[in-house]
Structure 1
Amino acid sequence: MRQSGNLENIISELYGLYYQDVYRFLICFTGNQNDAEDLTQEVFMRVLKSYHNYHHQGSIKTWIISIAKYAAIDQLRKKKFSSIFKDTFFKGIPSNQKSPYETIELQEDIKLLYEAILKLKPNYRSVIILRAINEYTVKETAEILGCKESKVKVDFHRAINMLRKKLHIAPEEVFNNAN
């Protein structure tokens, strides 16, 4: 990121660089497009208000994603989160290599997986979203969540096991990198 003396320019640049990462995290965390859009805007307002507190100890990206995590948890507490992913959201793009039946079956499996993720406690949900869906490293995930790498590994393992039990399938079938 280029250095700029103007805070608005810095925030504008950060928004351009990290909007997609924040939005993707929040859409997975909340399961609601409108909530994710609103929370994404809130995250960057929080970044603007607290940028002076960022001391360049970790990457700016992980700092912003950790703000997103806290914004999502705050919303969860306020709304006592209970919604599930909409039927039409997160549908995979049909592939020419799959039959319509296989495509529908895959979409249904993905829907069930996301519904199961929403039922996980927030710490496990965050780890699954960051590690398995967004494919952050253990180190990046630990930075975002503000915990040790060992906790990320343990929580990820426990969350995967919970998903296996709830779904009676191996999450590796849906996640590309579940380890």
Structure 2
Amino acid sequence: MAIATAPMPVTERRPAWVAVVESAKHGDEAAFERLYVEFGSMVHGLLLARVDRASADDLTQEVFLRAWQRLANLHDPIAWPAWLATIARNAAVDQLRRAPQPGTLPPEAQLPATRSDDAGIRSEAEQLLQIIRELPHAHAEPLILRLVEGLSGPEIAQRTGLRPAYVRVNLHRGMKLLRARLHGRVNDNEGVGT
């Protein structure tokens, strides 16, 4: 005779970084440095979706400084990715408010007229970033995290606290929008010289 047993409850495995967040909350600077290594690319990518590269580089440091200073306010360590992402997005918005007035060129647009191959590639990359920044943030953020920061879809979901299905759908839609915009620009440029 078989004994009926109740199914074992499924417990969700806690990500390893939760313990690191808890240690950092108790003042462990080395733990916080590990969080920086683990989540630095996510923060940089979220910033890059809104501001130029130089600003994103500087703001990444600022975001982690703010997070360190406010870490005691984080009540549930499992909320760390979403909390950190909110700090990053707010830092980008603050930066845009302080940005130069319309009509002034951002640093990436102030390139010399003659370029070496490396500068030309850098200029093309900045143009592509600008096209991505023009997409809705729900699409731009995962695209930059994937294409620039090199995170996979599951890594984006884990580091941002977003549902994997949400990330997957927005990456797909974002790529579709990006292709359409790039195709439109290629067609626009083809007609210029004729």
TM-score of the aligned structures, taking structure 1 as reference length: 0.63
| Closer/same/farther in 2, CA of residues 132 and 8 from structure 1, 3 Å limit | same
Deviation per residue, 1:26-61 (Å, 9 max, x gap) = 5424331443332231133343431x4115xxxxxx
For residue 73 of structure 1, report the CA deviation from its aligned partner.
2.7
RMSD between aligned residues: 3.6
For residue 85 of structure 1, report the CA deviation from its aligned partner.
6.1
Q: Is the 8 A contact 2:143 2:171 kept in 1?
A: yes
Query: Are residues 1:86 and 2:86 paired?
Result: no
Query: Are residues 1:53 and 2:69 paired?
Result: no
Gaps of 5+ in 1: 56-62, 89-99, 170-179
The count of aligned residue pairs is 150
For residue 157 of structure 2, what is the amino acid of its counterpart?
A: A
Work out the CA distance in 2 between the residues paired with 1:13 and 1:137: 26
Query: Are residues 1:127 and 2:142 paired?
Result: yes
TM-score of the aligned structures, taking structure 2 as reference length: 0.59
- What percentage of aligned pairs have identical amino acids? 16
For residue 35 of structure 1, what is the amino acid of its counterpart?
A: L
Q: Is the 8 A contact 1:123 1:155 kept in 2?
A: yes
For residue 26 of structure 2, what is the amino acid of its counterpart?
A: L
From 30, 40, 44, the counterpart of 1:24: 44
Work out the CA distance in 2 between the residues paired with 1:72 and 1:4: 22
For residue 107 of structure 2, what is the amino acid of its counterpart?
A: K
Q: Is the 8 A contact 1:26 1:36 kept in 2?
A: no
Please tell me whether Structure 1 or Structure 2 has the larger radius of gyration of its CA atoms: 2
For residue 146 of structure 2, what is the amino acid of its counterpart?
A: R
Query: Which residues in structure 2 correspond to 1:36-115 (within 5 Å)?
Result: 36-50=60-74, 52-55=75-78, 64-76=80-92, 86-87=107-108, 101-115=116-130
For residue 109 of structure 1, report the CA deviation from its aligned partner.
0.9
The equivalent of 2:165 in structure 1 is 150
Work out the CA distance in 2 between the residues paired with 1:128 and 1:140: 13
